[in-house]
Chains A and B, each alone.
Chain A
Amino acid sequence: MHDRITQTFRGSHVLTAVLVAAALAFMLVGIANNDTFYLRLGTEALIFAGLALSVDLLLGYTGLLSLGQAMYFGIGAYVSAVVLIHTQSFWLAMSASLGASLLAAIVGGIIANQVRGVYFALITFALAQVVAKVIYNTQSLGSSDGLIGIPVVDVNLGVAAISTSSPAGFFLAVLTIIIGLYGLTAWLLNTPFGRVLIALKANERRVPFLGYSVWRARLAAYVLAGAIAGISGALYPMLRGFVSPELLFFSTSGNALIAVILGGVGTLAGALYGSIILIVLKSVISTYTTHHLIVIGSLFIALVLFVPQGLTGYVRPYIVAWLERRSTRRSNDQKPSMPTAVVLKRDSS
Chain B
Amino acid sequence: MELLEYIQYVLAPQVLNGLTVGVALILVALGLTIIFGLLDVLNMSHGEFYAVGAFLTIGLGAMGVNFWALIVLAPILMIPLAIAVERFLIRKVYDGADRHVTTLLVTFGLALVMEDVLKLIFGANPHRPENPLPGASEVLGIVFPHYRFLLIIVGAFIILVISYIVYRTKLGSMVRAAAYDRNMAASLGVPVGLIYSGTFAFGVGLAALAGVLLAPIYSVFPTMGRDFIFMAFSVVIIGGMGSILGAVVAGLLLAQISSLSSLFIEPVWTDPIVFGVMVIFLMFRPQGLFGRIGHA
Interface residues in chain A, defined as those with a beta carbon under 8 Å from any beta carbon in chain B: 59, 63, 65, 111, 114-115, 117-119, 121-123, 125-127, 129-130, 133-134, 137, 254, 257, 261, 291, 293-294, 296-298, 300-301, 304-305, 308
Bound together, the chains give a CA A261 to CA B272 distance in angstroms of 31
- Chain B: residues with Cβ within 8 Å of the partner, total of 36
Decide if the interface of chain B is mainly helix, strand, loop or mixed.
Answer: helix
Residues on the A chain within 8 Å of B117, using CB: 294
Say yes or no: is B105 at the interface (Cβ < 8 Å to chain A). yes
Which residue of B92, B100, B115, B268 contacts A137 across the interface (Cβ within 8 Å)?
B268
Residues on the B chain within 8 Å of A304, using CB: 93, 102, 105-106, 109
Residues on the B chain within 8 Å of A296, using CB: 112
Interchain CB contact under 8 A, A129 and B286: no
Bound together, the chains give a CA A268 to CA B120 distance in angstroms of 35
- Nearest CB to that of B102 among chain A residues? A304
Residues on the B chain within 8 Å of A293, using CB: 112-113, 115-116
Bound together, the chains give a CA A129 to CA B112 distance in angstroms of 18
The verdict on A305 contacting B279 (CB below 8 Å), with A126-B230, A130-B271, A291-B116 known, is no
Interface residues in chain B, defined as those with a beta carbon under 8 Å from any beta carbon in chain A: 42, 89, 92-93, 96, 98, 100-102, 104-106, 108-113, 115-117, 119-120, 230, 233-234, 237, 268, 271-272, 275, 278-279, 282-283, 286
Decide if the interface of chain A is mainly helix, strand, loop or mixed.
Answer: helix
Bound together, the chains give a CA A65 to CA B44 distance in angstroms of 14
From A118, A121, A134, residue with most partner B Cβ within 10 Å: A118
The 7 closest A-B pairs by CB, nearest first: A297-B112, A297-B113, A300-B109, A293-B116, A301-B109, A294-B116, A114-B283
Number of A-B contacts (CB under 8 A): 95
Bound together, the chains give a CA A297 to CA B45 distance in angstroms of 12
Residues on the B chain within 8 Å of A254, using CB: 108, 112
Interchain CB contact under 8 A, B119 and A291: yes
Interchain CB contact under 8 A, A118 and B110: no
Interchain CB contact under 8 A, A123 and B93: no
- CB pairs A–B below 8 angstroms (17 shown): A65-B101, A114-B279, A126-B233, A129-B271, A130-B275, A133-B268, A291-B116, A291-B120, A293-B112, A293-B115, A297-B109, A297-B113, A300-B105, A305-B89, A305-B93, A308-B96, A308-B102
Residues on the A chain within 8 Å of B100, using CB: 65, 117-118
Which residue of A127, A133, A294 contacts B120 across the interface (Cβ within 8 Å)?
A294
Bound together, the chains give a CA A305 to CA B283 distance in angstroms of 33
Residues on the B chain within 8 Å of A63, using CB: 98, 101
Q: Tell me the minimal C-beta distance from B28 to chain A in angstroms.
A: 15
Q: Tell me the minimal C-beta distance from B261 to chain A in angstroms.
A: 15
Interchain CB contact under 8 A, B104 and A121: yes
Interchain CB contact under 8 A, A118 and B113: no
Which residue of A59, A119, A130, A301 contacts B237 across the interface (Cβ within 8 Å)?
A119
- Nearest CB to that of A302 among chain B residues? B109
Interchain CB contact under 8 A, B116 and A122: no
Bound together, the chains give a CA A266 to CA B108 distance in angstroms of 19
Bound together, the chains give a CA A196 to CA B28 distance in angstroms of 40
Interchain CB contact under 8 A, B89 and A122: no
Residues on the A chain within 8 Å of B112, using CB: 254, 293-294, 296-297, 300
